[in-house]
Amino acid sequence: MQSRVITDGPSPKHVQLREVLAEMAAHELGPDAAIPSERDLMTRYDVSRSTVRKAIDSLVVDGLLHRTHGKGTFVSRPRLESRLHLASFSQDMRRRGMTPSTQLLGVRADVPPSDVAKSLGLAADAPAWRIDRVRLADGRPIALENGWYPSEPLPGLDRHDLGGSLYEIFADTYGLGIDSAEQTLWGEVADASTARRLDAPIGTALLVFRRVSAADGLPMEHVVSRYRGDRYQIHMSLGRDQLGSDRTATEGKTS
Amino acid sequence: MQSRVITDGPSPKHVQLREVLAEMAAHELGPDAAIPSERDLMTRYDVSRSTVRKAIDSLVVDGLLHRTHGKGTFVSRPRLESRLHLASFSQDMRRRGMTPSTQLLGVRADVPPSDVAKSLGLAADAPAWRIDRVRLADGRPIALENGWYPSEPLPGLDRHDLGGSLYEIFADTYGLGIDSAEQTLWGEVADASTARRLDAPIGTALLVFRRVSAADGLPMEHVVSRYRGDRYQIHMSLGRDQLGSDRTATEGKTS
DNA sequence: GGTACGGTCTGGTACGTACCAGTGATTCTG
DNA sequence: CAGAATCACTGGTACGTACCAGACCGTACC
**pLDDT tens sequence across A95-107:** 565 677 889 998 9
The set of residues, in sequence order, having a beta carbon less than 8 Å from that of A173 and lying 6+ positions away, is A160
Instruction: For residue B249, give the chain A residue with the closest CA.
Output: A83
Spell out, as residue ranges, where chain B has pLDDT lower than 70.
1-3, 77-88, 90-92, 94-98, 235-255
- Residue range(s) defining the domain that contains residue B38: 13-75
Instruction: Point out the nucleotide closest to A71 (alpha carbon to C1′).
Output: C10
Say if A76 is an interface residue toward chain B (CB within 8 Å).
yes
Q: Indicate whether A111 and A167 sit together in one domain.
A: yes
Q: Which nucleotide lies nearest residue A38, CA to C1'? A: C11
Between chains, do A81 and B80 touch, taking CB under 8 Å as contact?
no
**Nearest beta carbon to residue B250 from set A82, A180, A187:** A82
CB contacts of B250 in chain A (<8 Å) are: 82-84
Q: Provide the residue type at A158 as one letter.
A: D
pLDDT at A132: 94
- Amino acid symbol at A8: D
In a domain, A158, yes or no: yes
Listed residues A27, A43, A75: the one ending a domain: A75
- A131 and A55 in a common domain: no
Q: The CATH number of the domain where A68 resides is what?
A: 1.10.10.10
Q: Does A230 touch chain B (CB under 8 A)?
A: yes
pLDDT of residue B54: 94
Same domain, B71 and B93: no
Question: Which pLDDT score, from 0 to 100, does residue A221 have?
Answer: 92
Instruction: Give the pLDDT band (50/70/90) at residue A91.
Output: low
**pLDDT the model gives residue B88:** 53
Hey, is the C-beta of B181 within 8 angstroms of any chain A C-beta?
yes
CB contact under 8 A, B189 and A204: yes
3-state secondary structure chain A: CCCCCCCCCCCCHHHHHHHHHHHHHHHHCCCCCECCCHHHHHHHCCCCHHHHHHHHHHHHHCCCEEEECCCEEEECCCCCEECCCCCCHHHHHHHCCCCEEEEEEEEEEECCCHHHHHHHCCCCCCCEEEEEEEEEECCEEEEEEEEEEECCCCCCHHHCCCCCCHHHHHHHHHCCCCCEEEEEEEEEECCHHHHHHCCCCCCCEEEEEEEEEEECCEEEEEEEEEEECCCEEEEEEEECCECCECCEEEEEEEC
Lowest mean pLDDT among A128-132, A217-221, B14-18: A217-221
From the CA of A69 to the C1' of D21: give the distance in Å: 8
Tell me how far CA of residue B249 lies from CA of B19, B93, B178, in angstroms. Answer: 26, 17, 20
- B2 part of a folded domain: no
Give domain status of residue B121, yes or no: yes
Q: B197: domain CATH number?
A: 3.40.1410.10
Q: Is the domain of B70 the same as that of B95? A: no
Say how far apart CA A126 and CA B16 lie, in whole Å: 47
Mean pLDDT of A111-118: 90
Residues A245 and A188 in one domain: yes
CA pair distance B186, B193, nearest whole angstrom: 19
Average pLDDT of the segment spanning A53-72: 87
| Whether the Cβ atoms of residue A74 and residue A34 lie closer than 8 Å to each other | yes
A70 shares its domain with A127: no
Residue B48 at interface with chain A, using a CB cutoff of 8 Å: no
Q: What per-residue confidence (pLDDT) applies to B184?
A: 78
Q: Which residue of B has its CA nearest to A79?
A: B179
Q: Are residues A106 and A175 in the same domain?
A: yes
pLDDT per residue over B78-122, tens digit each? 533 323 334 457 656 766 666 778 888 988 899 999 889 998 989
**What's the confidence (pLDDT) of residue B247?**
30
The reported pLDDT for the residue numbered A148 is 95
The residues, any chain, with a CB within 8 Å of residue A147's CB and separated by 6 or more, are A130, A131, A132, A133, A166, A221, A222, A223, A224
Task: Write out chain A residues lying below 8 Å of B236, CB-based.
Answer: 84, 86, 182-185
Residues composing chain A: 255
Q: Does residue A126 share a domain with residue A50? A: no
Beta bridge partners of B246: B240
| B16 vs A63, higher pLDDT | B16
pLDDT at A79 over 70: no
> Quick one: B48 and B116 in the same domain?
no
The number of distinct structural domains making up chain B is 2
Whether residue A211 is contained in a domain is answered as yes
Q: Do the domain assignments include residue A2?
A: no
Instruction: Answer whether residue A147 is part of any domain.
Output: yes
Asked if residue A53 and residue A143 are part of one domain, the reply reads no
Is pLDDT of A154 > 70?
A: yes
Tell which residue, A228, A158, A167, has the closest CA to residue A200.
A228
Residue B83 in domain: no
Q: Does a structural domain hold residue B152?
A: yes
Beta strands in B166-204 (DSSP E): 180-189
- Amino acid B82: pLDDT: 29
Q: How confident is the model at residue A250 (pLDDT cuts 50, 70, 90)?
A: very low
Nucleotides of strand C within 7 Å of the protein's CB atoms: 9-18, 21-24
Q: Do A186 and B232 touch (CB under 8 A)?
A: yes
The answer to whether residues B126 and B184 belong to one domain is yes
Question: Is B70's CB less than 7 Å from nucleic acid strand C?
Answer: yes
| Residue that is last in its domain, among A75, A106, A125 | A75
d(CA A51, C1' D26) / Å: 34
Query: What are the residues with a C-beta under 7 Å from any atom of nucleic chain D?
Result: A 8, 12-15, 42, 46-51, 54, 68-71; B 35, 37-40, 49-50, 53, 67-73
Mean residue pLDDT of chain A comes to 79
Q: List the single best residue of B82, B84, B94, B209 to mutate versus A (max A Cβ within 10 A).
A: B84
pLDDT of A78 reads 55
Return the bridge partners of B187, or none: B207
Could you read off the pLDDT of A155-211 as tens digits, one per residue?
A: 888 888 787 778 777 777 787 777 677 777 788 889 989 999 999 888 889 988 888
Nucleotide D9's nearest residue (CA vs C1') is B70
Does residue B54 sit in the same domain as residue B159? no
Residue that is last in its domain, among A26, A44, A75: A75
Cα separation of B180 and B13, whole Å? 37
**Nearest CB to B172 within list A68, A236, A240:** A68
